[in-house]
Amino acid sequence: MTTVNHSSSYNRTYERKVVEDGPRGGIPSAFQGLSNMSSFQPSSSFIMSPHNYHFGSSTSGSFHASDDSFSATLDVGAYAPEDLKVSVVGRHIVIEAKHPEKADELGLIERSFTRKFVLPKNADPESVSSNLSSDGLLTVQVLPPKPKEVSPSRTIPIKIVTGGTPNGTEKKN
């Protein structure tokens, strides 16, 4: 029995169905409901809580982000470690995976994906790290910046000035 990747045929079928079954009113119907979008305000739990996602046809995972930290875990078990790449480009964390072209029972196949995440606004791009577990889970993290060290207390010397003004200048009348 031959196994076929159903997600490709499903996507094509779904796209065709949307076009065929879509609204019949032309372009104005494409903008219906946009007036309600302007009042959308995500709650802090929406932004701060972990989210589980399906990242493409064969990759799933979860992520959590705040203003100064980030964590994403992706199931990349279908890719060898040498097929994976994690990089920081500008203010984005970019995760890429690519299988070299190989033959299977249906012909040639090549798989790849690219996933980009916005780097948290208070995060240091140099603090991005990644780990790949033996069961194929890739974890990318940005840890919150360490609090700045408070300098030890120091005594400020008091200068004795003559002339009656705090900065040592004479009063002019």
Task: Give residue-wise pLDDT tens across range 41-65.
Answer: 443 333 443 444 444 445 577 878 8
| Phi-psi category of residue 145: left, alpha or beta, with phi > 0 → left and psi -120 to 50 → alpha | beta
97 CB neighbour count, 10 Å cutoff: 22
Spatial distance between the Cα atoms of 144 and 153, rounded to a whole number of angstroms: 26
Q: What is the pLDDT of residue 65?
A: 84
Question: Averaged over 60-83, what is the pLDDT?
Answer: 88
Q: For the whole model, what pTM was predicted?
A: 0.52
Per-residue confidence (pLDDT) for residue 13, from 0 to 100: 37
Q: What is the pLDDT of residues 94-142, one digit of tens each?
A: 999 998 888 889 999 898 999 999 999 888 899 999 999 999 999 999 9
The DSSP-derived string for 52-78 is EEE-SSS-EEEEEE-SS-EEEEEE-TT
DSSP structure string for 113-149: EEEEEEPPTT--GGGEEEEE-TTSEEEEEEPPPPPPP
Assign 2 a pLDDT band (cuts: 50, 70, 90).
Answer: very low
- Of the pLDDT bands very low, low, confident and very high (cuts 50, 70, 90), residue 154 is confident
Give the contacts of 128 (CB within 8 A, at least 6 positions apart): 86, 88, 93, 119, 140, 141, 142
- Reported as a single tens digit per residue, the pLDDT across 14-41 is 343 344 444 444 444 444 444 444 434 4
Q: d(Cα 171, Cα 85) in Å, to the nearest integer?
A: 70
First to last CA, the chain: 105
pLDDT at 171: 53
